[in-house]
Structure 1
Amino acid sequence: MRLPFSRIIQECRFAAIDFESAGAAPGETDQPVQIGIARIGGWQEKPLLWESYIATNKPVLWSASKVHGITTDMLAGAPSFLSLWNTIRTYLEGAVVIGHNPATERRFLRHFPGHGFGPWIDTLALARMCLPGLPDYSLRSVADALGVSDSLAALLPGKTWHNALFDAAASLFIFQVVVRELHLEESPLDTLGAAIKQ
């Protein structure tokens, strides 16, 4: 069941999600190869973290592997996307879901019709509203501008950008910093304007 936009921010649970994909040639359907979720059940708590590789029935394209470093061989023995459903539901159910331009995340989750996750917060839209004039709004650039990159590295040593869990945690940290800096903790979700969507 989706949460109403009138809910107070600090009273909500939040779960940030990111997928990395196999890449797709024109006319082909892309497939997820890695998922990461960072969830908080209370506004000030340390995030609960989960990640997994995901089996795919097609090879990971070189162009995609060049971005995230995941190869077809690394997916040997990985669980199927369908088999991860119960874990994904445990992390996302009852939470406001966060992603940085989460079109890919929403598309991959359509594999589970009627899941009811949401509402969604787009940290790309949030950053464009709150940080006008950045040279670009990549996840890394926004995290650097808000000073959260060192905290991410400390939380997830050995991981970096385009790792699904690292990127999910980055989206969560970005959201938390914006809310804290703008003193929005006691405001309703709909204060976030265009950054929040069903």
Structure 2
Amino acid sequence: MRQIVLDTETTGIDPKEGHRLIEIGAVEMVNRRFTGRTYHQYINPQREIEAEAIGVHGITNERVANEPQFDIIADEFWTFIEGAELVIHNAAFDVGFIDHELSMLNNRRGEPRLGPVASHCRVLDTLKLARDKHPGQRNSLDALCKRYDIDNGHRVLHGALLDAEILAEVYLAMTGGQTALSLDANAATQTSDAGRTGIHRLDPSRPRLAVIVPSADELAAHQVKLAQIRASAGQCRWDELSALEGGSEVH
């Protein structure tokens, strides 16, 4: 599955009040692995950035004065995200701004070429995910970094690409980890033409694994536990597995 972890920075908090995007950062993952592809763009919003917003992300009017307007970068950005699952923290905020920009662009072009986001991408809100997993706790990006032991010491101010990279690590930690760092073909496991993973033979001289045999007391305690499971659930998976193995419970 292709996922785009995305973050934005803006001139203020509400597009209905005329606020605009000034930065977009996005990181691509495929099957929970970073591909190395990113999207990062500063945008000239054609309006002043509020002082409170500058205090959050540090992006000044002078910084974006010579950057392209959204109309110029829209098609490239849309190509990068279209069809992917978007992973966003507090998704309603970012998607609301993106849809607002796309709507204004479509009106200027006189045709609905791009958007809305939810019609072309699945959206996964990591803030909702975090609240479901950690109800009653702080679930800001900084709080989640601390909870999942993710280094964000270099995050002094908000920045779209940096926050997207950090969010990707948080998302992977919240949902069970990551199987590999990248899709580097040179590091990937060799596969056959049929797509099956090649056989890796173990070294015959490797040390033998120790076999720990349970004591009589441990076996008795095990039977008591199985009886409790049967009484509460009406069935026990261990019985099915034991039957498949010929009735022996210790191998």
TM class, shorter-chain normalised?
A: 0.7 to 0.9
- Deviation per CA, 1:112-136, whole angstroms, max 9, x where unpaired? 25343321111111111123343x2
Alignment partner, residue 180 of structure 1: 176
Q: What are structure 2's unaligned runs of at least 5 residues? A: 103-113, 180-251
Contact 1:38-1:48 at 8 Å conserved across structures: yes
**Mapping for residues 1-198 of structure 1, pairs under 5 Å:** 12-23=1-12, 28-110=17-99, 111-112=101-102, 113-115=114-116, 116-134=119-137, 136-149=138-151, 160-180=156-176
- Larger displacement relative to structure 2 (123-132 or 108-117): 108-117
Cα offset for 1:91? 1.9
Cα offset for 1:87? 2.0
CA distance in 1: counterparts of 2:59 and 2:83, whole angstroms: 31
Q: Please, what TM-score do these two structures have when normalized by structure 2? A: 0.59
- Larger displacement relative to structure 2 (167-176 or 21-30): 21-30
Q: How many residues are paired up? A: 165
SS of residue matched to 1:19: strand
SS of residue matched to 1:172: helix
Contact 1:98-1:121 at 8 Å conserved across structures: yes
Instruction: Sort the Cα spacing of 1:25 and 1:37 in 2 relative to 1 into closer, same or farther, 3 A.
Output: closer
- Deviation per CA, 1:155-195, whole angstroms, max 9, x where unpaired? xxx665410111122222222112225x9xxxxxxxxxxxx
Q: What are structure 1's unaligned runs of at least 5 residues? A: 1-11, 184-198
Contact 2:15-2:97 at 8 Å conserved across structures: no
Sequence identity of aligned pairs in percent? 26
Instruction: Sort the Cα spacing of 1:44 and 1:97 in 2 relative to 1 into closer, same or farther, 3 A.
Output: same
Cα offset for 1:26? 11
Q: Please, what TM-score do these two structures have when normalized by structure 1? A: 0.73
SS of residue matched to 1:45: strand
Q: Which amino acid aligns with 1:143?
A: C
SS of residue matched to 2:17: coil
Greater RCO, CA 8 A, separation 6+: 1
CA distance in 2: counterparts of 1:71 and 1:141, whole angstroms: 26
Instruction: Sort the Cα spacing of 1:128 and 1:24 in 2 relative to 1 into closer, same or farther, 3 A.
Output: closer
SS of residue matched to 1:129: helix
Q: Which amino acid aligns with 1:77?
A: N
